[in-house]
Amino acid sequence: VEATNPCLVLAGYISMKVLKHHGTRQPNLVRGSKPAAVRPVTVCSACSRPTQPALLRQNGTMPVVRRSGVSSTSSASASSAFGQPLAPTNPLRPRSFSGPHIHGAVARRGNKIVISAVLAGVEGATDVRTMLGSEMKGEPNLVTGQLENGFRYVILPNKLPPKRFEAHLEVHVGSVDELPNEQGIAHLVEHVTFLGSKRRENLLGTGARANAYTDFHHTVFHVHAPVTNGVTGSPMLPQVLEALEEIAFRPEFLATRIEKERKAVMAEAQMMNTIEYRVDCQLLQYLHYENNLGCRFPIGKMDQVKAWPHDAVKAYWSRWYFPANATLYVVGDLDRDIEATRALIRSVFGRLQPATMSAEEAAACSAASKAAADGHQPPHTLPAPASMVAALSKGNGNGTAAAVAPEVAPDPAAAAAALLLKARHPIRPPVRHHWGMGPLAPAERPAPVSTFQHPLLQNFMLSVFCKVPITPMTTMAHLRQLLMIRTILSVFQFRVTKRYVAADPPFIGIELDISDSGREGATVSTLSVTSEPNDWQGAVRVAVEEVRRLQRYGLTKGELERYSSAILRDSAQLAEQANKVPSLDTLNFVMESLACGHTVMGHREAHEAMCAVAATVTLEEINSLARSLLTFASDYGSEGEALAEAAAAPPGAYVAPGPTRATSIVACLPAWVDANGASISVSSGGADASARGAAGHMGAGGHIDPDTVDLDQLAAQAAQVDAVEVPEGAFTYAVTADMIAGALADRAYEVEPPLDVDCPDFLMSEEEVSALVAERNPHYVPLAEPGTSGDAFPEPGPNGIVQRRLSNGMRLNYRVTDNEPRAALLRMIAPGGSCMDKLGAAPDGYGAVTVGMRTLSEAGAVGKWDREQVMVYCVSNLINCAMEADEENLCVDFHFAVGDGSMERTFQLAHLLLEQPRWEEAAADRAKTAFASASRSVSKSLDRATADRIMSVMMGGPEVRRFREPSPEEIDALTLEGMRNTVMGLLHAGALEINVVGDFDAQELERLVATYLGTVAPRPPTAVTPIIEYPVVWQDPTLERRHSSWHLHDSDERAAAYVAGPAPPRWGPFGSGDPIGPYPHGEVVPPPVVVPGAANSAEARQAATDARRRHPLFSSAILMLLTEVINSRLFTTVRDSLGLTYDVSFQFTMFDRVRLGWFSVLVTSHPDKIYDALDASVAVLRDMAVSPVNRRELARARTTLITRHESDMKDNAYWLGLLTHLQNEHVPWKVPECLRDLRAMYEAITVDDLYHAYSFLQLSDQQLFTCVGTSGKSAPPPPEGRVLGGVLADDEGEGVMLGQGGEGAQGQGGQLPNPMALFTAMLAAAQAMNPTVKAAVQQGQSSAGQQQQAGSSGSGSGPAQK
């Protein structure tokens, strides 16, 4: 019920008797501008006296009940609570009267009064205890089942993306199930079964994508597929299920496939052995020191991977891959109903027999597990039912039929005793944990601090862990505890951010997390602290103080109301988006929820339940929970005293699980620091060591080589550090475990109760807004130049895009979508970026734009409102804001809720950010510190440093830094005034383009844009920075600098290589880097499609080609398709066929305004193979000249891009990118028709177009740039006689270029060499100078054209990338 009279406010809670015969109801009414907390009252016909409400919170608490509910994390990503269901601290008193009565809650929202009421005292009504004890309502559309053979399945219809589905087969076996001599075998089996499947290969080209991964507790094979086969038109679900069934239960263990995947696993381990993953491994190692989760990493041990015979690999599969140990998840927009899907699953997987094991086999497995003495659990077995013995005896132990049946039928009784039924472990993962709860064991001491020190670490990083059992979230009480935990975490993070605002904060980051982990089988609480090395004590102090403050004093009343209300509002938003969550995200949530034992709830059901439990949360209860959960960090070293205090405390002061305690503490530390205790760069060899800054997004991710994190090797870590060259001016970082433990346990950290922050309802008053509108008269003008004729409100264009222009010069593009109900995205973007920076170190020198935008973000204050108030304002209204600058633009993005005034509040913040931003010295210091730290870290990252070196050679080194990060010297020279003038000179009304996408009312949006952005005053010309296109000249260095290498001193060996070169720009005539004006070809028409094989005249074909290549989208679309084709060939050849790498990727870096681009290839490998991998990658690039792209390759690339585009169309962030620059005068070829024609352009492009684009790539030795980076204790020497591209040195020392013939060979009509033969010969010769191979190479090269390099056959796309 809503009361629109703004003067009438019902405050507090009203409980009144409902009379049988229309009796008088007398609610307690209070007038005022804000809800006031008053004692709840009951009004009845017999008496009127204060009582406690039945369904609402305790006396003295006053929630803000919002009309649309909650916030922050969806049920899809939330963690459950631990411990027992919480009971109210003070039991609610029974009513002194019986009969029907109403309990209500009232609050004001803007000019509306919102009244929530519930009927009680009648049949069916529940009190708070009954409600909290009730079961949560699960997702109504979720269907689970189990076949007779034990195979489980989960089905959930989901409409996004439309006409596509996910099918994931989870086999419940992972690295924790390996014996000590099997470390890595689960991962190898995954490789062999997945990539060896013929039916999986048949999915290629259908529009499906397949992949697989192995984790601690499971192995998952997954397929993302269209409902209909794009080639045959037949349903895809049967084909996908047949493929998954073959992968898991009918693989071919060919010797060739096992050897190929053995190499792939070893390459994967080498690729992912980065310092970041070694840190992760250290954390897991100490977190789970008591079980196999700390020592059985999925990648395995490479000495074992090399050694297993084929029979051992197959035996592991036979032991664990059986129907009862697998679960199928099918989620998506299915083409059949649930029963038909069930029937299909039964027909495919029901034919598998139940898996069995003889008593002797079971005994042998148990003996092997006991011998391991590490907690390993053998396969779980159950007695076989006597009625099934005859059938089960025909199984061979992995769910498939045996080849030969017994000749003599066994005695039924004897068979029943000798045969066991294999089943899934009842607990996954099957490990035992040491819990951080309950009474202390005799002589139990506080968890020790373990340290990991390494030269490549830059910051002090501390993690304090506490493990407790997962409490399956099944009742409403569990959900209420989840709500309280989320509120506690939100309050802690806000308080830490308040401390960060200090002028010189002693920490980089402090985070508190409490989350369930299905892969670990535990709920893990983590306090993480990151700081500069010399600030570690201050950082630990801040972290401990804030945890203690929250543990000792709890939340304030305002914090509880503000954050619980925000969570409820976010929940309401998510409930509206129930049908808008992608199937992949939904499936992952379902899988994780079931692994933790949680009830799977839909968004709507979760929101309804969350609203029901939110009204029962009291300040006393949530503070009791905080007091219990945070003891692990607040009272480290005093665990006994904490338990004694809890025992003596009054009932309700602590709740389950009671006082917690740390179970492990890990500190990751740098090896060296400078004289001031700050981080220091490590020394390196090779290319210019002064180059700083990374060239963008060049990185990798994956598994870890556990050889670097073996428990037995920890003691040798210091020796490894000593073996690495000490940087000049470095001092040993001498922080010990005892020092850290002492800081954590220091009782001298005194804390005071927290003070609440006043939260503004609006940032601008109605009077301020009215005066501003009257003064500046904002209005819309025609899209053409001001003063010319035209319509200020043209009709929507293609795809429903609406364009407007404001009188102050701002341009507006928007599109209404229902992709994310009740939410929207806003982007304010202006030309600028680091390309506009002045070069060199100066107050407004290089870095002024990027560091200046970070300064504005760090300040977070506008007008009269400080950072804390703005933060609370954003939290309360579900507003997220991000500010950044890249090479081309300054960008401010908002994600906000729609409804309840949040959209207007967002535009008020946007207005003040443009008109009254606060520039603060403390914020500038924080921004400069963050950038300087990032710059120093470049030299410690193999991938980033290698990318930086190739960029410095390609773009001119220190003289031209526009595509690289500022150096520490440049950062230090910047001043607040210099950055402010630079940023505000670019971020002005005349330069801004506004883009909005979301679920909003169009008229309301236009009103708010005009009111708040149209009133931003234009800047005078003298205060505006003109957009200047600085020329960037490609360098022409010597061959030695063009093809360089360098070495990073490290304790472990890795290698990465980059290949790069110039590429055409994204917009304008293809291949031209000249400045462009408006589109010169008139109206943009859809590109014509030429049907292959049709009777088209040469003139018609040429006309169609010219039309395609004139289209504004041609450059962007052709480069995307070329990327897909090259990546497929790289994967097929370098990774799959030759086994030189686990990961190789090609990409184009394209800009919108800057008139250039480049391509790059990143390949990772072992230092011994990195040059072979580099040469193979270059050969694949050159091979396209002699191994033509066929139509099937193009069709696969086209299908991939179109599928991705159609899926992304359901994402508001994708649409925001499409709208950006539609009215940017510096990107004149991007027009709304480009969005209309994207699919048509992909479909129209031909193989000839691909080669037209390919011809612009400069791939000779004299044009390419390469850089090889290696890490280890010493730099490996490059191969003798090697020249890029497969040049071998013959016996006389003269170079022989593979695949190149004499001058004019192609023009003379000579036959092209066999590319695969030459490519294979090149690789073989590169590893061993074989005279026979060299002769073959010399014979083949005589007929090759000047630019036709040896390479793979490239006859089609390779397997789906793993």
What letter would DSSP give residue 174?
-
Q: What's at 1117, amino acid-wise?
A: A
End-to-end CA gap in the chain? 55
Q: What is the DSSP string of 285-301?
A: HHHTTTSGGGT--TT--
> Rounded distance, CA 712 to CA 1296, Å?
49
Phi-psi group of 1142: left, alpha or beta (phi > 0 → left; psi -120 to 50 → alpha; rest → beta): alpha
> Rounded distance, CA 553 to CA 1259, Å?
67
Q: Tell me the two tokens of residue 806.
A: 């404001």
> Rounded distance, CA 1154 to CA 1159, Å?
15
Please confirm, yes or no, whether 261 is among the known catalytic residues.
Answer: yes
Please confirm, yes or no, whether 1243 is among the known catalytic residues.
Answer: no
> Rounded distance, CA 1318 to CA 1176, Å?
11
Q: What is the DSSP string of 245-259?
A: HHHHHS----HHHHH
Element at 523 (helix H, strand E)? strand 522-531
Alpha helices, DSSP H only, in 1111-1190?
A: 1114-1130, 1170-1183
**How many degrees, rounded to 5, is the angle at CA 908 between CA 905 and CA 914?**
145
> Rounded distance, CA 1301 to CA 1338, Å?
9
Catalytic residue (choose from 139, 166, 190, 268): 190
Distances (CA, A) of 186 to 217, 285, 1218, 1357: 10, 19, 43, 27
> Rounded distance, CA 706 to CA 713, Å?
10
What letter would DSSP give residue 1136?
I
What letter would DSSP give residue 1138?
T
> Rounded distance, CA 1147 to CA 1158, Å?
9
> Quick check: 1049 and 1275 in contact, CB under 8 A?
no
- Phi, psi of 209, deg, nearest 5: -125, 135
> Quick check: 571 and 564 in contact, CB under 8 A?
no
Sole residue written with tokens 């008591």: 290
Q: Which residues are CB-neighbours of 1240 under 8 A, at least 6 positions away? A: 1086, 1087, 1089
Catalytic residue (choose from 178, 261, 605, 920): 261
Question: Please, what sign has the CA dihedral across residues 1163, 1165, 1169, 1170?
Answer: positive
Query: What is the rounded radius of gyration, in angstroms, for the C-alpha atoms of the chain?
Result: 33
Q: Tell me the two tokens of residue 53.
A: 């409400």
Buried b (16+ CB within 10 A) or exposed e, 515-548: ebbbbbbbbbbbbbbbbbbbbbbbbbbbbbbbbb
Q: Which residues are CB-neighbours of 885 under 8 A, at least 6 positions away? A: 832, 833, 834, 849, 850, 852, 853, 891, 983
Q: Which residues are CB-neighbours of 762 under 8 A, at least 6 positions away? A: 901, 904, 905, 908
- Phi, psi of 374, deg, nearest 5: -130, 20
> Rounded distance, CA 1239 to CA 1117, Å?
9
Alpha helices, DSSP H only, in 838-975?
A: 848-859, 867-876, 902-915, 921-937, 942-955, 968-973
Q: What's at 892, amino acid-wise?
A: V
Q: Which residue numbers are catalytic? A: 190, 261
